[in-house]
Amino acid sequence: MTAWFMMATWSPYIVGAGIGILIWTTFLLSDRPLGCSTAYAKTAGMAESVISRRKSEAMPYYQKFTPTVDWQWMIVIGVLMGAFLSAYLSGTFTLLTVPPLFAAEFGTDSLFRSLVALLGGILMGMGARWAGGCTSGHGISGTLQLSLASWVAAICFFAAGILVAGLIYGFTFL
């Protein structure tokens, strides 16, 4: 059994079933959908509260999504801990400033890689807020509830990902 946890890659069928069980359990225990993009907005609100508490408290967005550490915020911590643990147990953990695939396509400049990663993260965060949720919020929780908006969002996430990957790395996978 422990050897299974040390594998570098897992069966997508087993992982999919595990995610399904996780989301059922989440709904059963908390009656809330699984998602984490709101945690990033809440973190921005917490940072803004440090700078200007009155302005952040007056913002309608932060009145609806109170900038606090909550269960969604803890999901982000859990994802980071789980990713580290998985990489460590599988023996694939390494510290890289520029991954090999990026280096092969764009070079080894770590500052450029950091700026691209930051810009990509900002755009993804804005897109998730604009769409009303992230891939886990829409793609897992929303589609499970048969939400038409979530199905459309999930399809758009995949289509955009395929398009951008094709534009960056070429459409060699077709």
pLDDT tens, residue by residue, 123-172: 888 888 888 878 778 888 888 889 999 899 889 888 988 998 888 878 77
How far is residue 72's CA from residue 141's CA, in Å, rounded to a whole number?
13
**Residues 6+ positions from 147 with CB-CB distance below 8 Å:** 138
129 closest CA partner among 119, 140, 137: 137
pLDDT tens, residue by residue, 42-55: 888 899 989 988 88
How far is residue 152's CA from residue 139's CA, in Å, rounded to a whole number?
9
Give the DSSP H or E segment for 37: helix 37-51
Which pTM does this prediction carry? 0.74
pLDDT tens, residue by residue, 94-107: 988 999 988 988 99
**Residues 6+ positions from 5 with CB-CB distance below 8 Å:** 86, 89
How far is residue 164's CA from residue 47's CA, in Å, rounded to a whole number?
31
How far is residue 157's CA from residue 134's CA, in Å, rounded to a whole number?
9
CB-CB contact of 147 with 46 (8 Å): no
pLDDT at 56 over 80: yes
114 closest CA partner among 93, 132, 94, 99: 99
User: Taking each helix axis from N to C terminus, what angle separates 110-131 and 37-51, rounded to the nearest 10 degrees?
Assistant: 100
pLDDT at 26: 86
